[in-house]
Chains A and B, each alone.
Chain A
């Protein structure tokens, strides 16, 4: 009887040892969190009062536009003058 009780105690202690909570393992230090994204830049304001402008839209530049149109017109006039200057001379007869 004593032997059976001893065996039961032994088995019980082994069972309790199995279900006992293991000692906590050393947890690694938490990784550094990435920096939060920067706040979006405020929307560009169009000089003519348009509330929202697309990012990357060219502002101004009228001097280039006038230069291109002026070049085209001046070129037509200049080439026309060159043709007039080189026009074939009519014979006196």
Chain B
């Protein structure tokens, strides 16, 4: 994958999400269309991944886990990047929209990351002989996920919406520090986990199926973020409309 491609994909996802948020006319149908496309691609991913793609040279058929494991982790990294972008945008110009988008992206990122790590554990058993190993990539990924779980916990524990938005924006920036560590951990340290593959060294059908899986998960990333955004916005609205808490009564002597 060329270095610029993830940025292009991120820009497309951001443009689609912002378009969905900003243009009310597309809200009723856009997520349904993308969701239906994602569902159809997911069904075909089973066929392409399980039967059409060739077996890997050394891992044989176990290597087919690549087509679902890697796209899940990619989506997590994209969602966390969107999260930190919204956090920085909120700190620069306070907006409930960017705050709600940051919350949505973090939760969806945790979902994709957690499923990706579980898939990696399933893959590790037949290839490494263990379900889990205290390897640099696995440790850094776990720390990253725990940081974002902490981000979500911070949001749920803070009552005041404005304070919650500001504190969680700072937490999002701190949590994002773990992302480049995860990405480069396989190069910086001696890791059981393989380094990032290069399309020039991988069979073309395998690259095609991997990209098919990535587009499939991109569809779900879009749908999940926009639907989770609606939930976050409704909660914000409800919090604004709530009457202030009753002042504690003075104790009667």
Contact partners of B61 in chain A: CB under 8 A: 58, 60-62, 65
A-side interface mostly: helix
Q: Which residue of B lies closest to A75 (CB)?
A: B115
> Do the beta carbons of B119 and A71 come within 8 Å of each other?
yes
Using a CB–CB distance below 8 Å, which chain A residues touch chain B? 54, 56-62, 64-65, 67-69, 71-73, 75-76, 79-80, 83, 86-89
* Residues of chain B with a CB closer than 8 A to A65's CB: 50, 61-62, 64-65
Chain B, Cβ-Cβ closest to A66: B50
Q: Are A64 and B231 in contact (CB under 8 A)?
A: no
**Contact among A60, A68, A73, A88 with B231 in the assembled complex (CB-CB below 8 Å):** A88
The stretch of B6-14, B121-129, B135-143 in contact with A is: B121-129
Question: Interface of B with A (CB < 8 Å)?
Answer: 42, 46, 49-50, 57-62, 64-65, 68-69, 72, 111, 115, 118-119, 122-123, 125-127, 220, 223-224, 227-228, 230-231, 233-234
Judge whether A57 and B60 touch: CB under 8 Å. Answer: yes
Q: Which residues of B contact A87 (CB under 8 A)?
A: 227, 230-231
In the complex, what's the smallest C-beta–C-beta distance from A55 to chain B, in angstroms? 10
User: Chain B contact residues: over half helix, strand or loop, or mixed?
Assistant: helix
18 pairs of residues in contact across A and B, judged by CB atoms under 8 Å? A57-B57, A58-B58, A58-B60, A58-B62, A61-B126, A64-B123, A65-B61, A65-B62, A65-B65, A69-B46, A69-B68, A71-B119, A71-B122, A72-B72, A73-B42, A79-B224, A83-B228, A88-B233
A71 contact from B57, B118, B127, Cβ within 8 A: B118
Query: Known: A69-B68, A72-B68, A88-B230. Contact between A58 and B126, CB under 8 A?
Result: yes
* B residues near A73, Cβ cutoff 8 Å: 42, 46
Verify B228–A72 contact, CB threshold 8 A: no
A55: nearest chain-B partner, CB-CB: B58
A61→B50 CA distance, assembly (Å):
12
Q: Using Cβ atoms and an 8 Å threshold, which residues of chain A touch B59?
A: 57-58
B42 x A76 contact (CB < 8 A):
yes
A64 to B42, CA, bound (A): 18
A89 to B238, CA, bound (A): 11
**What is the bound-complex CA distance between A65 and B233, given in angstroms?**
38
User: In the complex, what residues of A have CB within 8 A of residue B69's CB?
Assistant: 68
Instruction: Kindly list the 9 A-B residue pairs having the minimum CB-CB distance in the complex, ordered from nearest.
Output: A88-B234, A61-B62, A61-B126, A75-B115, A68-B65, A72-B68, A68-B119, A83-B227, A68-B122
Q: Is the CB of A64 within 8 A of B126?
A: yes
A48 to B111, CA, bound (A): 38
Instruction: List the B side residues contacting A60 at CB < 8 Å.
Output: 61
Report chain B residues within 8 Å CB of A76: 42, 220
Bound: A68/B125 CA distance, A: 12
- Which A residue's beta carbon lies closest to that of B65? A68
Chain B residues lying within 8 Å of A80, measured Cβ to Cβ, are: 223-224
Decide yes or no: A67 and B228 within 8 Å by CB, A58-B58, A61-B62, A79-B111 being known contacts.
Answer: no
The interface residues of chain A lying within 8 Å CB-to-CB of B60 are 57-59, 61
Shortest CB distance A15–B (Å): 73
- Please report the C-alpha to C-alpha distance between residue A49 and residue B111 in the assembled complex, in whole angstroms: 41
Besides the contacts A65-B62, A73-B42, what 4 more A-B pairs have beta carbons closer than 8 Å? A58-B59, A64-B65, A76-B220, A89-B234
Q: Which of A54, A58, A59, A72 has the most CB of B within 10 A?
A: A72
